[in-house]
C-alpha cells in the first residue's frame, strides 16, 4: 500500500508541468486542473504515503482489520480530496468536500490520541457543517442568478450585481 501510494505521489508531479493556454487542463467534462488546483492535487497525493509512514508506530499494535480500516479511510479521504480539487462543477466540489467529513470524523474519533477525541469529533462535525451551510445557500443563489455552476462556463457569464441595502 505504501509503495502504491508513493507511485501515485510521484506520478502526480507530472501535473505540475502540464498547462494549457486557457489555464485549464481538462481531464473530462467534470474534472480539470488549473494553476490553483494543481498544487493542491499534488499535495493531496503526497499526503497519503506520509500519513501511512507517520502512523506506522501507532497502528503497529492494532489488529490487521483495524489497520486495513485505517488505510481504507485514508485512501477514501484522498479520493474525495482529488475529486474535490479537480471538480469543474462547484456543486461537485461542495459534495466531495463534505464527503471528506465522514472518513475524517472516523479517523478523529477512532484513532485520536486523547480521551477528548469524541468531543473533538463532535465539534469538528458541528462547526464544519455549520460553516458549510452558508456556502450551500450561496451556491444555490449563484445557480439561480447565473444558471450554471460550471467553473468552465461561469467565467463567461455576466458579472453579478452586488445589492447594497445602505
**CA 78/CA 56 separation, integer angstroms:** 18
Predicted confidence at residue 96, as pLDDT, reads 95
In three-state secondary structure terms, 65 is helix
pTM score of the predicted model: 0.82
- pLDDT tens-digit profile of 80-92? 999 999 998 999 9
- pLDDT mean across residues, the chain: 84
Pairwise CA distance, residues 94 & 18, whole Å: 26
- Count Cβ atoms below 10 Å from residue 161 Cβ, excluding itself: 7
State yes or no: pLDDT of 159 exceeds 80: no
Helices (H), the chain: 2-12, 37-54, 56-59, 64-85, 90-99, 101-111, 117-146, 151-154
Residues 2-49 pLDDT 10s: 777 677 777 766 666 665 555 666 667 778 888 888 888 888 988 888
Identify whether the C-beta of residue 91 lies closer than 8 Å to the C-beta of residue 72.
no
* pLDDT at res. 136: 94
Q: Regarding predicted confidence, which is higher, 15 or 66?
A: 66
Amino acid at each position: 500500500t505504501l509503495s502504491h501510494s508513493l507511485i501515485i505521489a510521484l506520478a502526480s508531479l507530472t501535473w505540475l508541468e502540464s498547462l494549457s493556454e486557457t489555464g485549464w487542463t481538462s481531464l473530462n467534462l467534470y474534472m480539470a486542473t488549473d494553476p490553483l488546483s494543481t498544487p493542491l492535487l499534488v499535495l493531496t497525493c503526497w499526503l497519503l504515503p506520509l500519513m501511512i509512514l507517520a502512523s506506522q508506530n501507532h497502528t503497529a499494535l492494532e489488529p490487521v482489520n483495524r489497520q486495513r480500516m485505517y488505510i481504507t479511510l485514508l485512501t477514501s479521504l484522498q479520493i474525495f480530496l482529488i475529486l474535490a480539487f479537480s471538480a469543474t462543477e462547484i456543486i461537485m466540489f461542495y459534495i466531495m468536500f463534505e464527503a471528506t467529513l465522514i472518513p475524517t470524523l472516523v479517523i478523529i474519533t477512532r484513532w485520536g490520541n486523547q480521551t477528548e477525541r469524541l468531543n473533538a469529533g463532535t465539534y469538528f462535525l458541528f462547526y464544519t457543517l455549520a460553516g458549510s451551510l452558508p456556502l450551500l445557500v450561496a451556491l444555490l443563489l449563484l445557480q439561480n442568478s447565473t444558471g450554471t455552476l460550471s467553473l468552465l462556463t461561469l467565467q463567461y457569464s455576466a458579472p453579478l450585481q452586488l445589492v447594497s441595502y445602505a
